[in-house]
């Protein structure tokens, strides 16, 4: 989560510098909130990058599906 927060901070700096549109960052912030909600629900807030595997990703995709996210949202979240 800390890496993602740092990434969003950098993206917001690019918006301030006029190098990136606010709308682009808003979408990434929305994805961050979706991922954060999932991690909190699963008590995985401190998961390490090397712990993210195929099983984790399939469970996350299942969570998105049962949470009634649209297929396009699921694909876009995966592509982040």
Residuewise pLDDT in 10s, the chain (80 residues): 788 899 999 999 999 999 999 998 998 898 899 889 999 999 999 898 899 999 999 999 899 988 888 887 777 766 55
Residue 74 and residue 61 in contact, taking contact as beta carbons nearer than 8 Å: yes
pTM of the predicted structure, to 2 decimals: 0.75
Cα 28 to Cα 23: distance, rounded to the nearest angstrom: 9
At residue 30, the pLDDT reads 87
């Amino acid at each position: 989560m800390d890496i993602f927060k740092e990434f969003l901070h950098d993206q917001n700096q690019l918006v301030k510098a006029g190098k990136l549109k606010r709308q682009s960052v808003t979408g990434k912030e929305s994805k961050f909130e979706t991922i954060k909600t999932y991690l909190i629900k699963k008590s995985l807030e401190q998961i390490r990058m090397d712990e993210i595997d195929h099983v984790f990703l399939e469970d996350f995709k299942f969570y998105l599906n049962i949470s009634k996210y649209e297929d396009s949202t699921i694909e876009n979240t995966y592509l982040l």
